[in-house]
Structures are given as C-alpha cells and as structure tokens.
Amino acid sequence: MKQISKHALLFLAALMVLNFTLSSCESKDPSVLKVFVHDESANLLPKAQVIIIGDTESNPPTIDYVDTFYTDNLGVAVFNLEDFFAASGKTVQSGYFDILVKYQNKEATGRIRVKKHITSVQSIYFEP
C-alpha cells in the first residue's frame, strides 16, 4: 500500500472541515406560522376558520398562496409553510400574508410577515 503524503492528508482534512462547516450553517428549522385566535373577552377560541392569503402586492411581492386551517382545542391554527417557500424559490427568505378569521357570523383580520426556517406567531382578536 502506498503511503499518502502529508499534503494529501492535510487537503482531505481541510475538505472535511469545510464540508462540516457548510452543512452546519444550513438551518434545519421548519417554516411555521402559528395563529392564536381570541374571542371578544381575549379567551382562545377553538374551531375558528383561519385563512392565510399571500399578499401579491407587498414589497417584495409574495407569490399567490392560500391555505386554510381550523384552530385546535387550544385556539391555535398551525400552518406549515415549507410548500410556500419551496414554490417561492430558493432566494425567497420571507413572505407577507393577510389573515382572515371566520367564526360563526363574525370575521377578524390581521397581517404578518413570515420568515424561512422561523416559527412566526400572530394573535387575532375579535372586537367586542
């Protein structure tokens, strides 16, 4: 077996360190939006319909995107935005959404900026 030169070993070690450094810089955190819905008394409201709509007129513009969930028993709707960021392209790191909440015959609105690999949180309150 041929002996590997010191230069080759140093080069391989440098490549391993570079690969580890670059792979550890990529965020593995999911892109999530949590919307907390409150009634007129500020209590969390289960079973409210929450619709997020990409703001195509924002600056920079957000792609045309709509998603709907209902709040859980704790009054929270959780949106996984991985599909949104995949469809937006690799260079897009954020997006703007209008939020529409419907419950019985009432509506409430909000707006939020979400970021890639971050959990964004917004509370929506129904007015008394």
For the chain, domain boundaries: 32-125
pLDDT for position 28:
82
- Nearest residue to 33 (alpha-carbon basis) of 74, 70, 79: 79
User: Measured at the alpha carbon of residue 82, what is the angle toward residues 118 and 101, in degrees to the nearest 5?
Assistant: 80
Extended strands (E) in the chain: 32-38, 49-54, 66-70, 76-80, 94-103, 106-115, 119-125
Distances (CA, A) of 76 to 13, 15, 49, 60, 96: 48, 45, 10, 28, 19
Residue 42 reports pLDDT greater than 90? yes
Query: Looking at the domain that runs over 32-125, which CATH code has it been given?
Result: 2.60.40.1120
| Token reading at 62 | 């957000």
pLDDT for position 1:
46
Residue 83 reports pLDDT greater than 60? yes
Residue 26 reports pLDDT greater than 70? no
Stretch 51-67: mean pLDDT, rounded? 95
Residue 102 reports pLDDT greater than 60? yes
Residue 89 reports pLDDT greater than 50? yes
The pTM assigned to this predicted structure is 0.78
80 forms beta bridges with 32
pLDDT for position 128:
83
Residue 77 reports pLDDT greater than 50? yes
Residue 2 reports pLDDT greater than 90? no
Taking residue 52's Cβ as centre, other Cβ atoms within 10 Å add up to 25
Lowest mean pLDDT among 51-55, 90-94, 107-111: 90-94
Burial 4-39 (b: 16+ CB within 10 A, else e): eeeeeeeeeeeeeeeeeeeeeeeeeeebbbebbbbb
Lowest mean pLDDT among 25-34, 57-66, 103-112: 25-34
